[in-house]
Amino acid sequence: MYTIKLDELEKILGYKIKPNTQSTGLDIAERTGICTITTDNDTAKFDWYYIEFDKTDIEKVYKEMYREFLNVIRANETDIVIIEDTFLLRCGKFVQADGFKKLTRFGTLALAVCFDRNVKHEFILAKSSRARLKIKMVTGQAKESVAKYLKEKFNIELDDDDLSDSIILSMLGLCEGMDFKPAPKKKRIKMVQYINTTGNYTKINKKTKEILGVKKSSGPYKGIDIIDRPWQVVWSYVILNIIVRVGRWGYRIMVSSSGFQSEYPGSIPGSPTN
């Protein structure tokens, strides 16, 4: 059992915490992490554990998991359940459909209990749940990164890193105004590159021709198609040069008509001499 003051929890998470609330986080798999946090007016009490089911008999797993959820999700006691959502993992042309289907079925068991007992529930992806609390992630070490966050922020030491996500999920259920909607997908920008007037490579948005960056080191950007300089860019360069030259010509006329003698004849102060 771990206890923390509500004001301290609010300061760490950056959210107002709901008092007198019980939130349960479920990181569901054949090895399921479960965390329940109960708050009163002053403190929050954490209780976490995991259950490992027999992977050799899937029907037995379904039955035992459902019974466990009946024990964990209680009517008139549990206020909200946060269930880790599933996603379809793609590896090139291949997808891990079997694992996706199995985890999704596990999640529906918890969902069924929530419906039966009229308990509020939310789904959120593991990646999104960590992002909500601004947890610094290390590639390939997801569980370890979350466990490190819990240690540094709360001084919570876990015997098993598989428990870490369930604790994060249960905390999200206590945060007022928490957004459980998935973040909108960013549109992928098709980029191309060309050699600019300095001999370096400029990458641009293929559709809008917006300049996205200029490579300072030698050689092109890797993995980006090379094209001829877009006519929009060429004409922009030409027009800019015309404007500069017309400006200089107008300045010379103004100087000669006023009788003013520049220290640097034929040039605009602060600009390069022709």
pLDDT in tens, 152-195: 999 998 888 888 999 999 999 999 999 888 766 667 778 887 78
Smallest Cα–Cα separation from 51: which of 144, 160, 145?
A: 160
Pairing label, strands 43-52, 2-5 = antiparallel
Whether the CB-CB separation of 52 and 35 falls below 8 Å is answered with: no
- Burial class, 243, CB count within 10 angstroms (exposed 0-12 / middle 13-18 / buried 19+): exposed
pLDDT at 64: 93
238 versus 32: which is more confidently predicted? 32
H/E run at residue 153: helix 142-154
CA distance 207 to 190: 7
pLDDT mean over 103-112: 92
Joined together, the tokens standing for residue 173 give 């259920």
Band of residue 207 on the pLDDT scale cut at 50, 70, 90? confident
Q: Is the pTM of this model over 0.85?
A: no
* pLDDT at 4 > cutoff 60: yes
Mapped onto helix, strand or coil, the DSSP state of residue 147 is: helix
Handedness of CA 149, 151, 156, 161 (dihedral sign): positive
Angle at 165 between CA 163 and CA 168, to 5 degrees: 115
Question: DSSP secondary-structure letter at 162?
Answer: G
pLDDT at 238: 62
Whether the CB-CB separation of 66 and 113 falls below 8 Å is answered with: yes
